[in-house]
């Protein structure tokens, strides 16, 4: 959520910056400022009333002490009349704040200055490409055919038991999945991230805190009876650990990691791009989350991207790094880098990680602050990244490493799998 103080001070710059996202914020910002003026006026009146009531309370006490009971009773009546207006003003202030927040919840984050303009993923900037695309045998198969051939993933069984997008991992497929999870977690631990096993369901306040609600409400699985949401990523419970918390400046950097299943409805997803493991409703992911001092958050973003790159290099997967354009940028992000791996049998790039800096956008919703050197409460910066999402990593590993004799396992994973080939 954008900070109201920054909107007051930088209205035109914010409106112009949001156009990079193809978002016209002019009317929303003007309405926020109008309501903010009303709120400040009502809040000033409420504060003045409270100050006057305190002054009268002291005056009443002094009059009683000096034996002027009649005069004290007159002032007491005046004080009671003042206090009668207090609930009305409090309700007005609260209602105006709620109106302001309702609008702010629908305005996306201001993009960083280096976010390129653009309308869709075709306008993203490819910053670098690493590795050599593999040459496959003539009879190479896509991963969904490999999964069937070697009996390691059963998509049809998932349809029977649940529905499309909920596959079963079997035998060496399950062991390879578990090996990847442990490999990613071990590397996160070695990089200083504290491992957490969080809940897989969160309440509405948590969804609002990290910005999934109301923006992605239709994409989240909801349990109406308890009013809980299944997590689309462990970013949600991990970051909400610090909702309504004031951390110490000396606590930075706060680094957390978690493996969880993730759940996304992916409404409207059809066609070849969603076949097999390319897009699932339930998938496994290891996430890294950082809470940072504002002065260090962009250095932290670079470190997180480097962390993901090291994982991809270790897996010997060709990959590229993209800087997302305004039209492809997530609602809460100020700057996002995507990492994509090359899937040889499909001859396409598959996104496996998004690493984002949200600056104060989430922290303002969460009321996540720290005390600076002057003992002033300041909003922290939050960041998160996939390190890594498993389905497309697995798809690329199966396709890129297929041979006439089976599927070779990257050397770095063999200690985790206990086998070298499927």
Instruction: Provide the annotated binding site.
Output: 233, 264-266, 287, 351-354, 384
Which burial class, exposed, middle or buried, applies to 80 when counting CB atoms under 10 A from its CB (0-12, 13-18, 19+)?
exposed
> Quick one: CA torsion of 339, 343, 346, 349, rounded to 10 degrees?
20
Asked if 271 and 241 count as a contact pair (C-beta separation under 8 A), the reply is no
d(CA 13, CA 24): 13
Strands 194-195 and 406-407: unpaired
Sign of CA dihedral 8, 12, 16, 17: negative
Asked if 386 and 308 count as a contact pair (C-beta separation under 8 A), the reply is yes
Q: Which residues participate in the annotated binding site for L-serine?
A: 233, 264, 287, 384
Q: Which long-range contacts (CB under 8 A, 24 or more apart) does 405-409 make?
A: 406/150, 407/146, 407/150, 409/176
Asked if 307 and 288 count as a contact pair (C-beta separation under 8 A), the reply is yes
Q: Which residues participate in the annotated binding site for ATP?
A: 264-266, 351-354
């Amino acid at each position: 959520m954008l900070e109201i103080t920054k909107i007051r001070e930088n209205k035109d710059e914010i409106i112009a910056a949001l156009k990079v996202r193809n978002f016209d914020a002019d009317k929303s910002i003007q309405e926020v400022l109008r309501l903010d003026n009303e709120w400040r006026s009502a809040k000033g009146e409420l504060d003045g009333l409270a100050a006057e009531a305190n002054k009268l309370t002291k005056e009443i006490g002094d009059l009683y002490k000096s034996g002027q009971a009649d005069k004290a009773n007159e002032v007491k009546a005046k004080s009671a009349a003042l206090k009668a207006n207090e609930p009305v003003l409090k309700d007005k202030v609260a209602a105006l704040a709620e109106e302001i927040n309702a609008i702010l919840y629908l305005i996306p984050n201001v993009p960083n200055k280096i976010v390129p303009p653009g309308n869709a993923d075709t306008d993203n900037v490819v910053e670098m490409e690493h590795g050599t695309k593999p040459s496959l045998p003539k009879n190479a198969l896509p991963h969904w055919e490999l999964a069937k051939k070697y009996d390691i993933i059963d998509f049809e069984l998932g349809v029977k038991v649940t529905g499309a997008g909920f596959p079963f991992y079997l035998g060496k497929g399950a062991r390879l999945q578990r090996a990847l999870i442990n490999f990613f977690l071990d590397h996160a631990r070695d990089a200083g991230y504290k491992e957490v096993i969080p809940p897989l369901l969160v309440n509405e306040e948590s969804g609002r805190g990290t910005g999934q609600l109301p923006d992605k409400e239709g994409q989240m699985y909801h349990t109406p009876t308890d009013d809980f949401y299944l997590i689309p990523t462990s970013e949600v419970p991990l970051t909400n650990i610090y909702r309504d918390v004031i951390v110490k400046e000396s606590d930075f950097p706060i680094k957390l990691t978690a493996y969880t299943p993730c759940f996304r409805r992916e409404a409207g997803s059809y066609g070849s791009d969603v076949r097999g493991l390319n897009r699932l409703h339930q998938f496994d992911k290891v996430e890294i989350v950082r809470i940072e001092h504002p002065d260090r958050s962009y250095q932290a973003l670079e470190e997180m991207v480097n962390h993901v790159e090291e994982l991809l290099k270790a897996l010997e997967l060709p990959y590229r790094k993209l800087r997302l354009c305004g039209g492809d940028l997530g609602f809460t992000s100020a700057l996002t880098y995507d990492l994509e791996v090359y899937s040889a049998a499909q001859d396409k790039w598959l996104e496996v990680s998004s690493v984002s800096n949200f600056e104060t956008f989430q922290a303002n919703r969460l009321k996540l602050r720290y005390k600076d050197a002057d003992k002033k409460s300041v909003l922290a910066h939050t960041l998160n990244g996939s390190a890594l999402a498993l389905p497309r990593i697995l798809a690329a590993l199966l396709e890129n490493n297929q041979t006439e004799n089976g599927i070779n396992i990257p050397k770095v994973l063999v200690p985790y799998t206990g086998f070298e080939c499927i």
